[in-house]
């Protein structure tokens, strides 16, 4: 009987170890990090050094070359060429630079706006909170792509336009998350002691509350990078993003959609780049959430 009881007592810990081993979110996402470094970060930073060809200039004599491992392909163009003879690999590398630049700038801008408004709403409450939250509800209820298309049609496609659109559409997610965290943190004892000590509202918000929401912001920003890349690619696919001839993953897919049967590589490789990047970012965000949340860390 004692042996059976000991076995029953050990079962939960054994099951927990099995779950922790099986679930990929509990393990360090080394594959995802590897993909992000070699598909997004390094190409985005060192695109001129890594690209074997000029991504804008093509050669009509080399148009619609298949990948190197397909009959008729050449090692000169490892992933083939498009309909005007531009190297697909070089355009994907430079497209990573566009995606990385847009996502980082949009994260900083939308995060700064959302975090500031979220801190104000959660800290002061009352009418200020109600007003900011109604703006958040309106922003979250807007059709993202439709609003982006209308804005781009009025202002015109450009790098700055894409930044403005993505920042305008994503700030509300930061504001809502930070506001919820602030509502809980402002009631803690160390905030009361800061008030008694004479700390200003601005100091309390940015010196005592903001550091306590950094973990949440890190996870949210990681997940939002994937959303921004998808949004930028969608706008470029529809012709409302970064204007040509700048290579972007979305515009490359648009260039290859009419040739998908005879030249599948034009649309397939940038599509794979988008899929792998967004999937890796989501897996990394899940791991960060589980690692930074003390409630989930010891499961």
**CATH for 250:** 1.10.3720.10
297 burial class (0-12, 13-18, 19+ CB within 10 angstroms)? exposed
- In Å, what is the CA distance from 247 to each residue of 41, 43, 47, 244? 16, 13, 12, 7
Q: What are the residues whose beta carbons fall under 8 Å from the beta carbon of 273, sequence distance 6 or more?
A: 39, 92, 95, 96, 249
Beta-bridge partners for 187: none
Spatial separation of the C-alpha atoms in residues 139 and 132, rounded to whole Å? 11
Cβ contact 234:254 at 8 Å: no
Domains held by the chain: number: 1
Query: Could you tell me if residue 274 is inside a domain?
Result: no
Q: What pLDDT is stored for residue 157 in this prediction?
A: 82
Query: Could you tell me if residue 140 is inside a domain?
Result: yes
pLDDT tens column, 270-292 = 999 999 999 999 999 888 888 87
What is the residue range of 127's domain? 81-265+291-299
Taking each helix axis from N to C terminus, what angle separates 159-185 and 214-237, rounded to the nearest 10 degrees? 150
Query: Could you tell me if residue 96 is inside a domain?
Result: yes
Query: Could you tell me if residue 55 is inside a domain?
Result: no
- What would the mean pLDDT of 144-167 be, rounded to a whole number? 84
Query: Could you tell me if residue 91 is inside a domain?
Result: yes
Query: Could you tell me if residue 281 is inside a domain?
Result: no
Query: Would the pLDDT of 16 be above 80?
Result: no
- What would the mean pLDDT of 130-135 be, rounded to a whole number? 93
Query: Could you tell me if residue 33 is inside a domain?
Result: no
Query: Could you tell me if residue 8 is inside a domain?
Result: no
Percent pLDDT > 90 in the chain is: 41
What pTM value is reported for the model? Answer: 0.82
């Amino acid at each position: 009987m004692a042996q059976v009881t000991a076995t029953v007592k050990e079962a939960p810990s054994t099951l927990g170890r099995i779950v922790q081993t099986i679930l990929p979110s509990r393990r360090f996402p080394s594959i995802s990090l590897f993909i992000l470094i070699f598909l997004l970060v390094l190409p985005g930073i060192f695109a001129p050094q890594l690209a074997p060809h000029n991504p804008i200039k093509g050669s009509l004599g080399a148009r619609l070359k298949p990948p190197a491992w397909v009959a008729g392909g050449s090692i000169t163009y490892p992933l083939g060429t498009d309909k005007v003879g531009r190297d697909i690999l070089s355009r994907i590398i430079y497209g990573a630079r566009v995606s990385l630049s847009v996502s980082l700038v949009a994260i900083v801008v939308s995060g700064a706006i959302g975090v500031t408004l979220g801190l104000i709403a959660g800290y002061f409450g009352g009418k200020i909170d109600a007003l900011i939250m109604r703006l958040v509800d309106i922003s979250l209820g807007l059709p993202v792509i439709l609003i982006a298309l209308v804005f781009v049609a009025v202002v015109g496609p450009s790098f700055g336009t894409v930044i403005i659109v993505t920042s305008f559409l994503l700030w509300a997610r930061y504001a809502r998350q930070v506001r919820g965290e602030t509502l809980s943190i402002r009631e803690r004892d160390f905030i009361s002691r800061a008030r008694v000590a004479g700390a200003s509202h601005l100091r309390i918000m940015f010196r005592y509350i903001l550091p306590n929401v950094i973990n949440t912001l890190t996870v949210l920003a990681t997940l939002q990078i994937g959303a921004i890349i998808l949004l930028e690619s969608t706008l470029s696919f529809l012709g409302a993003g970064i204007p040509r001839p700048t290579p972007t993953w979305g515009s490359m897919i648009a260039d290859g959609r009419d040739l998908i049967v005879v030249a599948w590589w034009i649309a397939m490789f940038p599509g794979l780049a988008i899929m792998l990047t967004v999937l890796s970012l989501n897996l990394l965000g899940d791991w960060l959430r589980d690692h930074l949340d003390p409630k989930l860390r010891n499961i």
